Amino acid sequence: MPSAVGGTGRTGGRAGRPTMKDVAAHVGTSIKSVSRVLNGEDGVSAATAERILQAMAELGFRRNDLARGLRQSDRTSTIGLALPQAGTRFHDSLVHGIDEIARQQGSFVLTASSGTAARERETLTALCSRRVDGLIVVPAGEDHGFLRPEQQAGVPVVFVDRPPHGIAADAVLTDHAEGARAGTAHLLRQGHRRIGVVGDDERIFSVAERIGGHRAALRTEQVAYAEELTRLGARCAEEAMHACLDLLGSGQPPTALFTLNNQCTIGAVRALRRLGLTRRVAMVGFDDFETADLIDPPVTVISHDVEEIGRTAARLMFERMAGHSPAPGRTTLPTKLIARGSGEIPVVDESS
Amino acid sequence: MPSAVGGTGRTGGRAGRPTMKDVAAHVGTSIKSVSRVLNGEDGVSAATAERILQAMAELGFRRNDLARGLRQSDRTSTIGLALPQAGTRFHDSLVHGIDEIARQQGSFVLTASSGTAARERETLTALCSRRVDGLIVVPAGEDHGFLRPEQQAGVPVVFVDRPPHGIAADAVLTDHAEGARAGTAHLLRQGHRRIGVVGDDERIFSVAERIGGHRAALRTEQVAYAEELTRLGARCAEEAMHACLDLLGSGQPPTALFTLNNQCTIGAVRALRRLGLTRRVAMVGFDDFETADLIDPPVTVISHDVEEIGRTAARLMFERMAGHSPAPGRTTLPTKLIARGSGEIPVVDESS
């Protein structure tokens, strides 16, 4: 958490916290201008506003110091939500959970898709310029330091699914590593030793964590991690299907598959069907999906409650808006193994 | 389309179109105030702004008359999208399609869920107050006349999935009736005469249209529509499952099911499984879904390209933003029957 140390222009303030006066003195502008920037009013040039926001960040000025004294009308009753991509099931469930809490609080949610890391800053800035009371971010980029002025100006920022970089903020995560460890251990218990892994890009935090958990489970059972059984970079079900076909068609194919998200799971089911192997190759997938129990065999999954992740993130945000200001921390939600059939297929003797 | 006739304060203007001066005269305010409202600037009281917007609507003032002369910076590069509910598959695909076109145009999409009809006006007003260049609405309520001032002020509004009421605006729809007719005809061709229907609330436009198409197909084959085979009001897969269990457990159960959306289809599959009837009762569902081909038997569906609906709506909106101004119209996109197995099950002799 940023401290107020180094606020050269500070002239006091309770508990050492900088005031609007300190910010004004630091920039060499009027308190009225600082107030205007803080309240999103016009009448301050863009350059001055930027310098004021920068000073707020440097001095560790926090609007929460004032929040209790602000009129309700300073609030916009709007929450901003930034997602890397619109229209994935993870994001739907997340929006659902956030929306539920926001409605309870009389707020409405504006959602924007940030897309690539390059576009993320632009999207988040555009979202903030619409005056949101708080911001929930599923990060796409690597550095979110540019959100510090917003945060310092009293807009709480909560990160979801991936931790923040370049900014101290709350994060709500899934215990990806433990989930993947449990899923892999489940396959090891059925006797599998050659477990194929199919997933998205390893540079994504959740993917890296899941692979870490998978390897930890192998280590516990002293099974060597075989690089040649891992196929990463599958961005959709179609790519995952081809990765699985490649893996299962190799000289020493895996006897089980561990898929790192539900798109990969669906791709793997298609590959197993195409090869007539649905009852011979075991499979555990990360992420549950609505029809997993209707597929033959029903798919064993590592499930996480994404709506609850959304609710938790929204609650943290509203708590900060209400003036709670503990040090930013991580909340990690557990996963659950749901055994349905595909993950309980035993090793088939390769010579049979 | 609103005409300029009746604009008592009009003092001319080319082609009889009212100017800002006409609006100012009508309200008894300055041209500067009209300009401020038009450009979303401060300095006009809420009451006056409301009267100016009202006058714009009454006089048929259209910002497009000015648009070509406006600086690019008057645009916010933001599209508003209002959905009745976040996190349904229909909406995901829609957002995907809209986002694709918006990105090509260098715009970004702000999405808000309007929820109930009562909440819709509030949500749409809040969205508009964020200064969007255009608005795409999946209607929840029954009257969208309150959007006329926005529309008159030059913000194109396009409706999706359900036609607008109380406002003349473009609408992009699916040919629900023809799709339902084709799906029902398909079941009739397999010899089915007792076809159960399970769907959501009939007050929803798409539901009513689909039921209309179903009944039209029955009429063509001179099959009586049996009220007792229809179960409406199922809002989720769980409710649809119970409706199907009820229907299939009745004295004279249907030999086939026609489900009106994918939640109902999934509920029906669960009911058929529970009763061990998946290979004895035929089924056609409206809406395709990702794993429909992986279920046993694979599900025959009436598919519509929801992403294309989104792209079409976005293209219409950007065309209007670029100055095209044909009379508002309806674009209806076709559906496609995808036969996969469940819809091709023949009538099982009830005495067997």
pLDDT of residue A115: 73
Please tell me the distance in Å from A10's CA to the nearest CA on chain B: 34
- Burial category of A73 from C-beta neighbours within 10 Å (exposed 0-12, middle 13-18, buried 19 and up): exposed
Q: In this structure, are residues B80 and B132 in contact, taking their beta carbons and an 8 Å threshold?
A: yes
Residue B151, Cα to own-chain centre: how many angstroms? Answer: 18
Residue B340, Cα to own-chain centre: how many angstroms? Answer: 27
CATH 3.40.50.2300 domain locations along chain A = 78-174+306-333, 176-304
Residue A281 amino acid letter? V
User: DSSP characters for B260-326?
Assistant: SSHHHHHHHHHHHHHTT-TTTSEEEEES--TTGGGBSSPPEEEEE-HHHHHHHHHHHHHHHHTT--P
Q: In this structure, are residues A174 and A161 in contact, taking their beta carbons and an 8 Å threshold?
A: yes
Could you give the CA distance from residue A22 to residue A25 in angstroms, rounded to a whole number?
Answer: 5
Residue A11 amino acid letter? T
User: DSSP characters for B83-120?
Assistant: ESSSS-HHHHHHHHHHHHHHHHTT-EEEEEE--SHHHH
CB-based contact (8 Å) between A110 and chain B?
Answer: yes
Contact A290 B266 (CB under 8 A): yes
How many Cα atoms within 13 Å fall on the side-chain side of residue B28? 1
Which residues in chain A have their CB less than 8 angstroms from residue B295's CB? 291, 294-296
pLDDT of residue A163: 92
Which residues in chain B have their CB less than 8 angstroms from residue A116's CB? none
Q: Enter the tokens of residue A314.
A: 């929204």
Express each pLDDT in B120-169 by its tens digit.
888 888 787 777 899 999 998 888 888 887 787 788 999 999 999 889 99
First-residue to last-residue Cα distance in chain A: 61
Which of B83, B294, B308 to mutate against chain A (most A CBs within 10 Å)?
Answer: B294
CB-based contact (8 Å) between A78 and chain B?
Answer: yes
Contact B126 A112 (CB under 8 A): no
Residues of chain B with pLDDT under 50: 1-15, 63-73, 352
Contact A109 B113 (CB under 8 A): yes
CA-based angle B342:B346:B202, to the nearest 5?
60
Question: In sequence order, what are the residues at sequence separation of 6 or more whose Cβ sits closer than 8 angstroms to the Cβ of residue B254?
Answer: B192, B194, B195, B196, B229, B247, B248, B281
Contact A110 B111 (CB under 8 A): yes
Which of B73, B236, B266, B290 to mutate against chain A (most A CBs within 10 Å)?
Answer: B290
Question: In sequence order, what are the residues at sequence separation of 6 or more whose Cβ sits closer than 8 angstroms to the Cβ of residue A91?
Answer: A83, A85, A138, B92
A151-183: burial string, b at 16+ Cβ within 10 Å, e else: bbbbbbbbbbbbebeebebbbbbbbbbbbbbbb
Residues of chain A with pLDDT under 70: 1-17, 38-41, 57, 60-75, 86-88, 349-352
Could you give the CA distance from residue B339 to residue B347 in angstroms, rounded to a whole number?
Answer: 17
CB-based contact (8 Å) between A118 and chain B?
Answer: no
CATH 1.10.260.40 domain locations along chain A = 20-63
Q: Which CATH architecture has domain B78-174+306-333?
A: 3-Layer(aba) Sandwich (3.40)
User: DSSP characters for B192-204?
Assistant: ---EEEE-S-TTS
Largest CA distance in chain A: 83
Cis upstream peptide for B298 (omega within 30°): no
Topology annotation, domain B176-304:
Rossmann fold (3.40.50)
Give the strand order in the sheet containing B256-259. B230-231, B195-198, B256-259, B282-286, B300-304, B335-338
The answer for A135, left when phi > 0, alpha when psi is -120 to 50, beta otherwise, is beta
Q: In this structure, are residues B123 and B82 in contact, taking their beta carbons and an 8 Å threshold?
A: yes
Summary count for chain B: helices (H), strands (E): 12, 12
Tell me which chain B residue has its CA closest to the CA of residue A107: B123
Topology annotation, domain B20-63:
434 Repressor (Amino-terminal Domain) (1.10.260)
pLDDT of residue B234: 95
pLDDT of residue B46: 76
Q: Enter the tokens of residue B240.
A: 């649809």
Quick check: helix, strand or coil at residue B170? strand
Nearest to A247 by CA among A200, A198, A191: A198
Alpha-carbon distances, residue B207 vs A136, A261, B212, B284 (angstroms): 35, 34, 9, 15
Express each pLDDT in B51-91 by its tens digit.
887 787 677 665 443 333 333 445 678 899 998 876 567 78
Which residues in chain A have their CB less than 8 angstroms from residue B108's CB? 112-113, 122-123, 126
Which residues in chain A have their CB less than 8 angstroms from residue B99's CB? 86-87, 113
Q: In this structure, are residues A134 and A156 in contact, taking their beta carbons and an 8 Å threshold?
A: yes
Could you give the CA distance from residue B319 to residue B300 in angstroms, rounded to a whole number?
Answer: 37
Give A26-31's long-range contacts (Cβ < 8 A, gap of 24+): A26/A55, A26/A58, A26/A59, A27/A51, A27/A52, A27/A55
H-run or E-run covering A227: none
CB-based contact (8 Å) between B86 and chain A?
Answer: yes
Q: Enter the tokens of residue A19.
A: 């005031």
Could you give the CA distance from residue B6 to residue B60 in angstroms, rounded to a whole number?
Answer: 9
**In B119-194, at which residue ranges do the beta strands (DSSP E only) sit?**
134-137, 157-160, 170-174
Which residues in chain B have their CB less than 8 angstroms from residue A270's CB? 294
Contact A108 B112 (CB under 8 A): yes
